[in-house]
Structure 1
């Protein structure tokens, strides 16, 4: 399986602007720029997209891991906070809140750790990956 995305950039690094488009067209000429990356201007940026990818990948992997352990989650909600420091992504902190009937905290923590360690985005990142797992 291959997935694609395209970035188009016009102008200098600081004053220029670009767009991002994805194969699925979920991103379709979505704006990004220096200001969307380093200030609060509306638009997206690479780190936000990595955070979304990591949160989505981990959450889906956790659902599979829980299923393999005999549990079906009522809900899983994950936030990923990606840190860019000195030109490198240095960490991605996952924070998951879950409702999983019949599971113990120890079982849940083990499933969450397995998902964190084995989701494809975790494996792709050369960064510290933290996890806070809350079971409701």
Structure 2
């Protein structure tokens, strides 16, 4: 049987120096036990940066650059679409001028811009407006 006092590395809890040990004064204990504050969120940090730097804040500059590049890209896309439409219309005009059958078809499309059923309905309304009364007045006694 081994006595605890004789074992190496044994520390008795009931010693005279107990008053010297204060766990609140120990920095290691403080670091481990104190609650760590979380980092602020992205939006909160951005608000702080805007307050500090205004227009020179990095995220404001990046947003401005992003909007500029998006607008530039939209403009380039628009111009490309317009150029393509102009080319297609020019080619179509050349093809119509060279081919008489296509020319007649195009003239017919321009002439009959409305649907035939719409034309028939319009004619029916016109006929009803111009129709004269052909009935007899009825009187009751």
Range class of TM-score, shorter chain:
under 0.3
Could you state the TM-score of these two structures normalised by the residue count of structure 2?
A: 0.22
Could you state the TM-score of these two structures normalised by the residue count of structure 1?
A: 0.23
Greater RCO, 1 or 2 (C-alpha within 8 Å, sep 6+): 1
The structure carrying a bigger helix percent of its residues is 2
Rg bigger for which structure?
A: 2
